[in-house]
Amino acid sequence: MTAIRTVTVHGDSPYTIHIGHGLLEDGALIAGHIRGRHVLIVSDDQVAPLYLPALRQRLLQQRPELLIGEQVIAAGEASKTLDNFARVIDALAGLGATRDACVLALGGGVVGDLAGFAAACWMRGIDCVQLPTSLLAMVDSSVGGKTAVDLPQGKNLVGAFHPPRAVIADTATLATLPPRELRAGLAEVIKYAALGDLRFGQWLAQERPALLAGDSEALALAIAASCEHKAEIVARDPLEKAERALLNLGHTFGHAIETAQGYAAPGSDNLIHGEAVAIGMLLAARLSARLGMATDRDADALEQLLRSFELPTQIPAGLTAQTLLAHMRLDKKNTAGKLRLILWTAFGQACIVPDVDEQAVLAVLRQP
Ligand code: NAD
Ligand code: GLY
């Protein structure tokens, strides 16, 4: 096992993010966060065969008295549904889970959001330990306590804030992550640079070959830096009353793309979350320039960085500007009748803009 990095998320319910190679093999670390006897491991059908049996075995080695249930969903965004939420709840009921039970979310952000939401709701809230296995989940979704499922009308529309008891990110699992998913996770890493840290952006550009090649040390550094950025913001604003909204740079556009195209399932051509966010960030940068808040040169720099990480930068064919705008109107950041977007004044300087002109948004959405 190599160096373990930790990041603390401060606040009313503080918790630690553990980042290191081989952490899923550390049964004592994981079991140490389980208070009661009931454990439900939630995973998906691509991650579970790789990591779930060994996890179960290590937990039982540490704590033979544990009653461990499993709920495995089909992989992909299309599974982040109320139906699967009900299945996880049924599994907790079947296990007889008491208030000291623990949900272990073993997988990417889909599993993390779904399992976290079930943990938030069962008996009005039980522990959830996030065991993220995708880069995107390690740098973003496992941290901060946002949990949710999607509706056909929009992403993450039903959910709750429910901070995890701990986050344990085993970077060894990234070795089995498909390259496209690794790049999608890197889009969320680039987001931290774009919203608040130009120097981190420069570091990412410099480390690009190592990051794209899956170099474990470069990835661990990127994960730790991303978690530090997110932890700072979440500690100050856990419920997104203000600055936490900055973490949504590119997301209003991105979520609209995901919803309009249909939520991705493995093997489909539909964009996955990180890819949609990449396009969304660039649209936000272009809109900022159109509104006279920033230069096109900054947007060009972002486009170049995203392209160098082999991320998409164009809205997929067939999605009209009007359709996308209609989905953007249902975003959670909006206030009555007004589009509230995260834009920027320069690379690394994002800001919240409360009442964005829809004609300007349409113009950017129409650009080839
Ligand atoms: P995902 O959960 O669908 O995982 C991506 C794919 O990679 C899946 O097919 C999964 O089976 C596979 N996979 C994951 N880890 C693997 C591994 N180690 N080896 C092999 N395959 C592996 O998607 P994601 O990109 O991890 O997360 C996206 C989701 O996260 C979206 O639903 C998004 O809305 C949500 N999200 C939430 C927050 C938050 O704050 N809660 C933040 C960002 C994103
Ligand atoms: N991913 C945005 C947030 O956690 O607030």
Exposed/middle/buried for 3, CB within 10 Å: 0-12, 13-18, 19+? exposed
pLDDT, position 2: 63
Indicate which residue's Cα is closest to atom 25 of ligand 1: 136
Q: Do 334 and 243 share a domain, yes or no?
A: yes
pLDDT, position 267: 81
Beta pairing, strands 127-132 & 102-107 = parallel
**DSSP H/E element including 88:** helix 82-95
Indicate which residue's Cα is closest to atom 22 of ligand 1: 177
Domain boundary among 148, 176, 204: 176
338 is catalytic: no
pLDDT tens-digit series, residues 112-166: 999 999 999 999 999 999 999 999 999 999 999 999 999 999 999 999 999 999 9
pTM: 0.97
Task: Report the domain count for the chain.
Answer: 2
Distance 113 CA to ligand 1 centre (A): 9
Which one is catalytic: 21, 38, 162, 255?
255
pLDDT tens-digit series, residues 326-353: 999 988 777 777 899 999 999 999 999 9
Q: Do 166 and 207 share a domain, yes or no?
A: no
180 is catalytic: no
Distance 143 CA to ligand 2 centre (A): 8
Radius of gyration of the chain (CA): 20
**What mean pLDDT, rounded, does the chain reach?**
96
* Dist. CA 168–CA 16, nearest whole Å: 8
* Dist. CA 106–CA 162, nearest whole Å: 17
Ligand in closest contact with the CA of 277: 1
CB 276 within 8 A of CB 218: no
Q: Do 140 and 189 share a domain, yes or no?
A: no
Q: Which two tokens stand for residue 161?
A: 């804030």
Domain range for residue 241?
Answer: 179-366
Provide mean pLDDT across the span 297-310.
Answer: 98
Distance 281 CA to ligand 1 centre (A): 19
Helix (H, G, I), strand (E, B) or coil at 315: coil
β-partners of residue 40 are 69, 103
Q: Do 88 and 65 share a domain, yes or no?
A: yes
Q: Do 171 and 191 share a domain, yes or no?
A: no
Q: Do 349 and 296 share a domain, yes or no?
A: yes
Q: Do 190 and 135 share a domain, yes or no?
A: no
* Dist. CA 106–CA 98, nearest whole Å: 21
Output the domain CATH number for residue 342.
1.20.1090.10
pLDDT, position 368: 66
pLDDT tens-digit series, residues 245-302: 999 999 999 999 999 999 988 888 899 999 999 999 999 999 999 999 999 999 999 9
Q: Do 48 and 88 share a domain, yes or no?
A: yes
Indicate which residue's Cα is closest to atom 2 of ligand 1: 108
Provide mean pLDDT across the span 169-196.
Answer: 98
pLDDT, position 334: 78
Output the domain CATH number for residue 128.
3.40.50.1970
Q: Do 159 and 185 share a domain, yes or no?
A: no
CA distance readout (Å), 89 to 38, 117, 118: 13, 10, 6
89 contacts: CB under 8 Å, gap ≥ 6:
118, 121, 122
Percent of the chain with pLDDT over 70: 99
Which one is catalytic: 80, 273, 290, 327?
273
Ligand 2, CB cutoff 6 Å, lining residues: 140, 144, 146, 244, 247-248
pLDDT tens-digit series, residues 353-365: 999 999 999 999 9
Provide mean pLDDT across the span 18-34.
Answer: 98
Q: Do 43 and 130 share a domain, yes or no?
A: yes
Q: Is the pLDDT of residue 179 over 60?
A: yes
Q: Do 156 and 207 share a domain, yes or no?
A: no
* 284 phi/psi in degrees, rounded to 5: -65, -40
Q: Do 256 and 332 share a domain, yes or no?
A: yes
